Amino acid sequence: MTHTILITGGTSGIGLATARAFSQQGANIVIAGRREEAGNAAANEVNGLGGTCHFYQADVSIETEVEALIEFVVTQFGQLDFAFNNAGIFVHEPGLENHEKSTWDQVIASNLTSVYLCMRHEIVAMRNQKRTSPSVIINNASIVGHRGSGASGAAYTAAKHGVLGLTRQAAVENADQMIRVNAVSPGPTLTPATAAGLDGPAEAVEARISTLNPTGALVSVEDIANTVVFLCSPAASMINGQDIPLDGGQLAKL
Protein backbone atom coordinates (compact mmCIF):
# COMPACT_ATOMS: atom_id res chain seq x y z
CA MET A 1 0.00 0.00 0.00
CA THR A 2 1.30 3.44 -0.92
CA HIS A 3 1.04 5.89 1.95
CA THR A 4 0.54 9.64 1.73
CA ILE A 5 2.39 12.05 3.98
CA LEU A 6 2.11 15.80 4.43
CA ILE A 7 5.27 17.60 5.54
CA THR A 8 5.03 21.25 6.52
CA GLY A 9 8.19 23.28 6.30
CA GLY A 10 9.29 20.78 3.70
CA THR A 11 11.33 22.98 1.39
CA SER A 12 14.66 22.65 3.24
CA GLY A 13 16.42 21.25 6.29
CA ILE A 14 14.61 18.65 8.39
CA GLY A 15 11.44 18.73 6.29
CA LEU A 16 13.25 18.15 3.01
CA ALA A 17 15.34 15.33 4.50
CA THR A 18 12.12 13.68 5.68
CA ALA A 19 10.57 14.04 2.23
CA ARG A 20 13.63 12.36 0.73
CA ALA A 21 13.38 9.48 3.20
CA PHE A 22 9.70 8.83 2.45
CA SER A 23 10.26 9.17 -1.29
CA GLN A 24 12.86 6.41 -1.11
CA GLN A 25 10.05 4.23 0.26
CA GLY A 26 7.80 5.10 -2.67
CA ALA A 27 5.38 7.31 -0.72
CA ASN A 28 3.09 10.04 -1.97
CA ILE A 29 4.34 13.29 -0.47
CA VAL A 30 3.05 16.84 -0.23
CA ILE A 31 5.54 19.38 1.04
CA ALA A 32 4.15 22.72 2.18
CA GLY A 33 5.99 25.98 2.60
CA ARG A 34 5.85 29.69 1.90
CA ARG A 35 8.65 29.88 -0.69
CA GLU A 36 7.36 28.84 -4.10
CA GLU A 37 10.69 28.65 -5.94
CA ALA A 38 12.36 26.61 -3.20
CA GLY A 39 9.28 24.42 -2.89
CA ASN A 40 9.14 23.56 -6.56
CA ALA A 41 12.87 22.78 -6.59
CA ALA A 42 12.49 20.53 -3.55
CA ALA A 43 9.54 18.68 -5.07
CA ASN A 44 11.47 18.08 -8.29
CA GLU A 45 14.39 16.63 -6.33
CA VAL A 46 12.19 14.40 -4.18
CA ASN A 47 10.28 13.15 -7.23
CA GLY A 48 13.48 11.64 -8.54
CA LEU A 49 13.96 9.36 -5.53
CA GLY A 50 11.12 6.91 -6.07
CA GLY A 51 8.04 8.58 -4.65
CA THR A 52 5.56 11.15 -5.93
CA CYS A 53 5.92 14.65 -4.51
CA HIS A 54 3.91 17.84 -4.88
CA PHE A 55 4.63 21.27 -3.47
CA TYR A 56 1.78 23.37 -2.07
CA GLN A 57 2.41 26.98 -1.14
CA ALA A 58 0.89 27.79 2.23
CA ASP A 59 1.47 29.72 5.44
CA VAL A 60 0.34 27.21 8.05
CA SER A 61 -0.15 29.88 10.70
CA ILE A 62 -3.23 30.99 8.70
CA GLU A 63 -6.23 28.69 9.10
CA THR A 64 -7.77 29.22 5.68
CA GLU A 65 -4.48 28.22 4.07
CA VAL A 66 -4.25 25.12 6.26
CA GLU A 67 -7.79 24.12 5.25
CA ALA A 68 -6.90 24.51 1.59
CA LEU A 69 -3.68 22.54 2.08
CA ILE A 70 -5.43 19.55 3.66
CA GLU A 71 -8.10 19.64 0.96
CA PHE A 72 -5.36 19.57 -1.69
CA VAL A 73 -3.70 16.52 -0.13
CA VAL A 74 -6.95 14.56 0.10
CA THR A 75 -8.07 15.59 -3.38
CA GLN A 76 -4.69 14.76 -4.91
CA PHE A 77 -4.14 11.38 -3.28
CA GLY A 78 -7.50 10.40 -1.76
CA GLN A 79 -6.17 10.07 1.77
CA LEU A 80 -3.87 11.45 4.44
CA ASP A 81 -1.99 8.70 6.26
CA PHE A 82 0.84 10.60 7.95
CA ALA A 83 1.59 14.22 8.79
CA PHE A 84 4.85 15.76 9.98
CA ASN A 85 4.15 19.21 11.39
CA ASN A 86 7.62 20.59 11.02
CA ALA A 87 7.17 24.23 9.99
CA GLY A 88 8.60 26.85 12.32
CA ILE A 89 11.08 29.64 12.73
CA PHE A 90 13.97 30.36 15.06
CA VAL A 91 14.50 33.98 16.08
CA HIS A 92 17.40 35.16 18.24
CA GLU A 93 15.34 36.65 21.07
CA PRO A 94 16.40 39.17 23.73
CA GLY A 95 15.72 38.67 27.44
CA LEU A 96 12.08 38.30 28.44
CA GLU A 97 11.89 41.83 29.82
CA ASN A 98 13.01 43.23 26.46
CA HIS A 99 10.91 40.90 24.35
CA GLU A 100 8.77 42.77 21.83
CA LYS A 101 5.14 41.66 21.64
CA SER A 102 5.37 41.54 17.84
CA THR A 103 8.23 39.03 18.04
CA TRP A 104 6.30 36.96 20.58
CA ASP A 105 3.27 36.87 18.28
CA GLN A 106 5.37 35.89 15.25
CA VAL A 107 7.24 33.08 17.00
CA ILE A 108 4.15 31.65 18.71
CA ALA A 109 2.16 31.76 15.45
CA SER A 110 4.87 30.01 13.44
CA ASN A 111 5.87 27.39 16.00
CA LEU A 112 2.75 26.66 18.06
CA THR A 113 -0.41 28.01 16.45
CA SER A 114 0.61 26.39 13.16
CA VAL A 115 0.84 22.99 14.86
CA TYR A 116 -2.58 23.45 16.46
CA LEU A 117 -4.17 24.46 13.15
CA CYS A 118 -2.56 21.63 11.22
CA MET A 119 -3.49 18.98 13.77
CA ARG A 120 -7.03 20.28 13.94
CA HIS A 121 -7.61 19.79 10.23
CA GLU A 122 -5.41 16.71 9.83
CA ILE A 123 -7.39 14.90 12.52
CA VAL A 124 -10.70 15.70 10.82
CA ALA A 125 -9.39 14.37 7.50
CA MET A 126 -7.97 11.24 9.11
CA ARG A 127 -11.15 10.49 11.02
CA ASN A 128 -13.31 10.89 7.92
CA GLN A 129 -11.41 8.47 5.69
CA LYS A 130 -11.50 4.70 5.50
CA ARG A 131 -8.37 3.16 6.97
CA THR A 132 -7.00 -0.31 7.45
CA SER A 133 -4.02 0.88 9.49
CA PRO A 134 -3.49 3.75 11.95
CA SER A 135 -2.84 7.28 10.80
CA VAL A 136 0.10 9.05 12.40
CA ILE A 137 0.83 12.68 13.26
CA ILE A 138 4.31 13.75 14.33
CA ASN A 139 5.11 17.22 15.62
CA ASN A 140 8.56 18.75 15.56
CA ALA A 141 9.26 20.10 19.03
CA SER A 142 12.73 20.71 20.52
CA ILE A 143 14.76 19.83 23.55
CA VAL A 144 14.00 23.37 24.78
CA GLY A 145 10.46 22.08 25.12
CA HIS A 146 11.77 20.24 28.19
CA ARG A 147 13.57 23.09 29.95
CA GLY A 148 14.77 26.65 29.61
CA SER A 149 17.77 27.55 27.51
CA GLY A 150 20.34 30.30 27.37
CA ALA A 151 20.56 29.85 23.61
CA SER A 152 16.83 30.17 23.01
CA GLY A 153 14.28 32.76 24.11
CA ALA A 154 10.94 33.11 25.86
CA ALA A 155 8.66 32.75 22.85
CA TYR A 156 10.50 29.85 21.21
CA THR A 157 10.84 27.94 24.49
CA ALA A 158 7.18 28.51 25.38
CA ALA A 159 6.08 27.46 21.91
CA LYS A 160 7.99 24.19 22.03
CA HIS A 161 6.65 23.41 25.51
CA GLY A 162 3.22 24.00 24.00
CA VAL A 163 3.88 21.64 21.10
CA LEU A 164 4.57 18.82 23.56
CA GLY A 165 1.36 19.60 25.44
CA LEU A 166 -0.67 19.58 22.22
CA THR A 167 0.95 16.29 21.23
CA ARG A 168 0.01 14.55 24.47
CA GLN A 169 -3.53 15.92 24.52
CA ALA A 170 -4.21 14.97 20.90
CA ALA A 171 -2.81 11.48 21.52
CA VAL A 172 -5.20 10.93 24.42
CA GLU A 173 -8.19 12.26 22.49
CA ASN A 174 -7.55 10.17 19.37
CA ALA A 175 -6.21 6.88 20.70
CA ASP A 176 -9.55 5.21 19.97
CA GLN A 177 -9.74 6.73 16.49
CA MET A 178 -6.78 4.84 14.97
CA ILE A 179 -4.65 7.99 15.10
CA ARG A 180 -1.31 8.07 16.90
CA VAL A 181 0.31 11.40 17.79
CA ASN A 182 3.96 11.77 18.81
CA ALA A 183 6.73 14.33 18.74
CA VAL A 184 10.42 14.50 18.04
CA SER A 185 12.68 16.90 19.93
CA PRO A 186 15.93 17.59 18.09
CA GLY A 187 18.97 18.86 19.87
CA PRO A 188 21.45 21.18 18.14
CA THR A 189 20.87 20.73 14.42
CA LEU A 190 22.51 23.03 11.91
CA THR A 191 19.88 23.80 9.27
CA PRO A 192 19.34 26.89 7.14
CA ALA A 193 16.67 28.05 9.60
CA THR A 194 18.82 27.74 12.72
CA ALA A 195 21.93 29.15 11.04
CA ALA A 196 19.99 32.26 10.02
CA GLY A 197 19.19 32.97 13.66
CA LEU A 198 22.72 32.60 14.99
CA ASP A 199 25.76 34.85 14.80
CA GLY A 200 28.99 33.99 13.00
CA PRO A 201 30.08 31.84 10.06
CA ALA A 202 28.61 28.37 9.69
CA GLU A 203 31.78 26.59 10.82
CA ALA A 204 32.00 28.62 14.02
CA VAL A 205 28.31 28.17 14.76
CA GLU A 206 28.60 24.42 14.21
CA ALA A 207 31.62 24.14 16.49
CA ARG A 208 29.93 26.15 19.20
CA ILE A 209 26.56 24.43 19.31
CA SER A 210 27.95 20.92 18.80
CA THR A 211 29.60 21.17 22.23
CA LEU A 212 26.14 21.06 23.81
CA ASN A 213 25.80 17.46 22.69
CA PRO A 214 27.82 14.92 24.77
CA THR A 215 28.85 13.21 21.54
CA GLY A 216 30.40 16.49 20.37
CA ALA A 217 28.47 16.34 17.11
CA LEU A 218 25.45 18.04 15.65
CA VAL A 219 22.27 16.09 15.06
CA SER A 220 21.89 15.48 11.33
CA VAL A 221 18.67 16.14 9.47
CA GLU A 222 18.80 12.51 8.34
CA ASP A 223 18.77 11.36 11.99
CA ILE A 224 15.50 13.19 12.49
CA ALA A 225 14.02 12.05 9.18
CA ASN A 226 14.77 8.40 9.96
CA THR A 227 13.05 8.72 13.33
CA VAL A 228 9.94 10.19 11.71
CA VAL A 229 9.87 7.28 9.25
CA PHE A 230 10.15 4.84 12.16
CA LEU A 231 7.34 6.51 14.13
CA CYS A 232 5.07 6.13 11.10
CA SER A 233 5.88 2.42 10.76
CA PRO A 234 4.12 -0.61 12.28
CA ALA A 235 7.21 -1.10 14.45
CA ALA A 236 6.09 1.96 16.43
CA SER A 237 2.48 0.84 16.84
CA MET A 238 2.53 1.15 20.66
CA ILE A 239 4.30 4.52 20.74
CA ASN A 240 1.64 7.16 21.32
CA GLY A 241 1.68 10.50 23.13
CA GLN A 242 5.45 10.34 23.41
CA ASP A 243 8.34 12.64 22.60
CA ILE A 244 11.60 11.28 21.21
CA PRO A 245 14.59 13.49 22.07
CA LEU A 246 17.29 13.36 19.40
CA ASP A 247 20.12 15.08 21.22
CA GLY A 248 22.99 12.63 21.69
CA GLY A 249 22.33 12.68 25.44
CA GLN A 250 22.12 16.45 25.99
CA LEU A 251 19.07 16.30 28.23
CA ALA A 252 20.57 13.42 30.21
CA LYS A 253 23.59 15.44 31.29
CA LEU A 254 21.69 18.39 32.73
Strand order in the sheet with 28-33: 52-57, 28-33, 4-8, 82-85, 135-140, 179-186, 243-246
Q: What is the DSSP string of 7-61?
A: EETTTSHHHHHHHHHHHTTT-EEEEEES-HHHHHHHHHHHHTTTSEEEEEE--TT
Q: Which of 43, 109, 156, 167 is catalytic?
A: 156
CB 187 within 8 A of CB 247: yes
- The span from the CA of 215 to the CA of 225, in Å, is 19
Query: Can you state the angle between helices 154-174 and 114-127, rounded to 10 degrees?
Result: 20
> Which residues does residue 140 pair with via DSSP β-bridges, in sequence order?
184
- What is the pLDDT, as a whole number, of residue 188? 83
- What is the pLDDT, as a whole number, of residue 248? 86
Neighbours of 135 (CB within 10 A): 25
- What is the pLDDT, as a whole number, of residue 167? 98
- What is the pLDDT, as a whole number, of residue 195? 58
CA dihedral 129, 134, 64, 111 (to 10 degrees): 180
Note if 56 is an active site residue.
no
Could you report the per-residue pLDDT of 81-129, keeping only the tens digit for each?
A: 999 999 999 877 778 888 889 999 999 999 999 999 999 999 999 999 9
- What is the pLDDT, as a whole number, of residue 90? 83
Domain 4-188+220-253, architecture per CATH: 3-Layer(aba) Sandwich (3.40)
Lowest mean per-residue pLDDT among 5-14, 164-173, 174-183, 210-219: 210-219
- The span from the CA of 172 to the CA of 163, in Å, is 14
CB 229 within 8 A of CB 19: no
Could you report the per-residue pLDDT of 167-210, keeping only the tens digit for each?
A: 999 999 999 999 999 999 998 887 765 555 555 666 676 677 67
- 236, amino acid identity: A
Could you report the per-residue pLDDT of 31-72, keeping only the tens digit for each?
A: 999 999 999 999 999 998 999 999 999 999 999 999 999 999
H helix count then E strand count, the chain: 9, 7
45 Cα distance to chain centroid: 20
Q: Angle at Cα 236 formed by Cα 234 and Cα 238, nearest 5°?
A: 105
* Residue 203 CA: distances (Å) to CA of 74, 188, 190, 209, 237: 42, 14, 10, 10, 39
